[in-house]
């Protein structure tokens, strides 16, 4: 790890950015450096301008992709290098006016029925029914479930904020029939909701 990259990570940590945000911002800086084959602190304002034109007009990055790159590079140049570049004040991701794809209940059932492992199906069902973000769902613990009040306590969600969401009947029923395992890949905690009751 270069000294400059380490400095960027430390600045992000001091700013209170989540680990996921740190990874995305570091990747944004790395992509810029790889594009020009030189350290990011040696890249000029004009090169930065041409880079954003390239990712927008040639690579056709999405609005979210450009936004992440802009935020990551802006943080790097302004907070880590203490440089103010005109391009970073000029770039604005294109506005999108797209309606979200809304699946019917039957379509959702069909998709979930294709998930073979019951613990993964339980996790995805819980995430969908309770409106959780992916990482929120995969980090559920037994202590997060309040069956008496029918609530799930989400810890450190987006922005590091805690919140409560309704615990619906569907995921609980599925969980009880799956032996209670809520999801998971290696390195991700498994929450046990409890075995099936007789």
CATH code: domain of residue 44: 1.10.150.130
pLDDT value of residue 1: 66
pLDDT value of residue 169: 59
Same domain, 79 and 133: no
Quote the domain boundaries for residue 153: 105-177
Output DSSP code: residue 150.
T
User: Is residue 153 assigned to a domain?
Assistant: yes
User: How confident is the model over 68-92, as a mean pLDDT?
Assistant: 94
User: Is residue 17 assigned to a domain?
Assistant: yes
What is the Cα gyration radius of the chain?
22
Rounded (10°) CA dihedral 157, 158, 164, 165: -110
User: Is residue 124 assigned to a domain?
Assistant: yes
**Please, what is the Cα angle at 155 between 150 and 157, to 5 degrees?**
110
CA dist list (Å): 97 to 63, 90, 100? 11, 21, 10
User: Is residue 59 assigned to a domain?
Assistant: yes
User: How confident is the model over 73-80, as a mean pLDDT?
Assistant: 96
**pTM for the predicted model, two decimal places:** 0.60
Same domain, 16 and 68: yes
Q: Where are the alpha helices (DSSP H) in the chain?
A: 3-14, 19-36, 45-57, 63-75, 86-90, 105-113, 118-130, 134-138, 169-177
- pLDDT > 90? residue 103: no
CATH of the domain at 118: 1.10.443.10
User: Is residue 97 assigned to a domain?
Assistant: no
User: Is residue 196 assigned to a domain?
Assistant: no
pLDDT value of residue 152: 87
- pLDDT > 80? residue 10: yes
**119-149 per-position pLDDT tens digit:** 888 888 888 888 888 888 888 877 888 878 8
Same domain, 46 and 112: no
User: Is residue 192 assigned to a domain?
Assistant: no
User: Is residue 55 assigned to a domain?
Assistant: yes
User: How confident is the model over 165-194, as a mean pLDDT?
Assistant: 48
Same domain, 52 and 112: no
Residue 36, SS3?
A: helix
How many domains does the chain contain in total?
2
Instruction: Tell me the average pLDDT of the chain.
Output: 82
pLDDT value of residue 159: 72
């Amino acid at each position: 790890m270069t000294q400059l990259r380490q400095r960027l990570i430390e600045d992000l940590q001091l700013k209170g950015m989540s680990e996921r945000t740190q990874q995305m911002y570091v990747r944004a800086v790395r992509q810029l450096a790889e594009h020009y084959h030189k350290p990011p602190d040696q890249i000029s304002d004009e090169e930065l301008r041409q880079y954003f034109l390239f990712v927008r007009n040639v690579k056709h990055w999405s609005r979210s992709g450009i936004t992440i790159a802009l935020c990551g590079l802006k943080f790097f140049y302004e907070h880590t290098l203490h440089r103010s570049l005109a391009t970073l004040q000029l770039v604005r991701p294109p506005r999108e006016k797209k309606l979200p794809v809304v699946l019917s209940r039957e379509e959702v059932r069909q998709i979930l029925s294709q998930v073979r492992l019951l613990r993964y199906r339980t996790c995805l069902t819980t995430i969908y029914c309770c409106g959780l973000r992916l990482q929120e769902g995969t980090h559920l613990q037994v202590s997060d479930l309040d069956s008496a009040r029918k609530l799930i306590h989400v810890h450190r969600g987006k922005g590091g904020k805690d919140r409560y969401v309704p615990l619906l009947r569907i995921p609980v029923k599925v969980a009880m029939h799956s032996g209670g395992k809520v999801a998971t890949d290696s390195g991700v905690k498994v929450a046990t909701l409890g075995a099936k009751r007789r």
